[in-house]
Structure 1
Amino acid sequence: MEKKPCSSSLAVKTSHVLPPDTNYHGTLFGGTLMAHIDDVAAISAVRHCRKPVVTASTDSVDFIKPVKQGNSICVEAFVTWTHNTSMEVFVKAVTEDLLTGERNVCATAFLTFVAVDENLRPVPVPEVYPETESEKFLHEGAQLRAERRRERRAYSKDFANRFGTTYPWNK
């Protein structure tokens, strides 16, 4: 498979934040922003590998600034790193006050996707390479983030086994 630059997977989505998208405080629901993030990140991953993908993990989504009703929300994503069948995708969300033009980064996140075949079995993905300084910065830190994800996943599996499927959990 031929290597691809990070930029070839860029996906961007801009939406107007309307009243049904907002909470009691007039700001975008966090879950709505997370749905935008997963959607755009998945498009980026598919663009990179040209195969169906599944979300394997979402690292912490850090909400930095509120997104107010009437603003726009622009979610940008691109593949920063690949392993055999998986891809790390960086996502940045920018809110814009459409009346003043003021823009702020309102959230960032890393998601991991796995490319799959028609039987939902993992399949290989092309390598990715960075070109810009920002892409290189993200690419260089990816291995450490991947190790932390593996550790967190093992911890999550332990929690799942400990608590099981019944309540109360202390039975």
Structure 2
Amino acid sequence: MASISETHMENRERIQPNDTNNYGSAHGGNIMHWMDEIGAMSAMRHAGDTCVTAHVSDLDFRRPVPQGDTCVISAYAYATGESSIRVRIQAFHENPRTGEREQTTDAYFVFVAVDEEGTPVAVPDLDVETDECETLRNAALSGENSD
């Protein structure tokens, strides 16, 4: 049984000209792609199997990530079903020189663990072993489907 903290991971992407839209900020499709990738890795860390995207909800773009800044994607699993893993994923823009960070995007993804034939497989329960894990899980659960 994995814990929430063991599924927590981050990735960074430097926003280059090819990553931008007409307004000089990261294209939303690129951010979604990066969120999907890190979310799947978080889910796979828990499941120990390949995980595929089944559902995306509450994908909110709050502010842009300017060209030249770094897009930091943070993800962690916070709940499981029989074969599904719910993952909270957040994006931030980060100044690469100062490390100052501001949240830009928030989303909730559901991944399903599958075997080599693509058939859903059972996943273990998610362990909430520390107060920090409990705080992360509660933050994700309270933010799901909220406006």
Per-residue CA deviation, residues 108-144 of structure 1 (Å, 9 max, x unaligned), is 11100010111111111011123314224146549xx
- Number of corresponding residues: 142
Could you tell me how far apart the structure 1 residues matched to 2:137 and 2:27 are?
32
Residue matched to 1:118:
116
Pick aligned residue for 1:64 from 37, 62, 70: 62
Pick aligned residue for 1:25 from 23, 26, 33: 23
Specify the structure having the higher radius of gyration (Cα). Answer: 1
Question: After alignment, is 57-66 or 35-44 more displaced?
Answer: 57-66
Amino acid at match of 1:67: V
8 Å CA contact retained: 1:80, 1:138:
no
Could you tell me how far apart the structure 2 residues matched to 1:4 and 1:139 are?
17
Q: Which has the higher helix share?
A: 1
Residue matched to 1:48:
46
TM-score by length of 2: 0.89
Pick aligned residue for 1:106 from 104, 107, 117: 104
State the secondary structure of the residue aligned to 1:4.
Answer: coil
Moved runs in structure 1, 4+ residues, more than 4 A? 139-142
8 Å CA contact retained: 2:59, 2:106:
yes
8 Å CA contact retained: 2:88, 2:140:
no
RMSD over aligned Cα, in angstroms?
Answer: 1.8
Could you tell me how far apart the structure 1 residues matched to 2:108 and 2:118 are?
22
1:5 and 2:3 are equivalent in the alignment = yes
State the secondary structure of the residue aligned to 1:60.
Answer: strand
Could you tell me how far apart the structure 1 residues matched to 2:54 and 2:104 are?
23
Per-residue CA deviation, residues 24-65 of structure 1 (Å, 9 max, x unaligned), is 110100000000000000000111111011110011211112
Per-residue CA deviation, residues 75-110 of structure 1 (Å, 9 max, x unaligned), is 011110001110000111111122444310011111
Segments of 5+ residues of structure 2 without an aligned counterpart are none
Q: Which has the higher contact order (CA 8 A, sep 6+)?
A: 2
Residue matched to 2:78:
80
TM-score by length of 1: 0.77
Segments of 5+ residues of structure 1 without an aligned counterpart are 149-171
Amino acid at match of 2:136: E
Percent of counterpart pairs with the same letter? 32
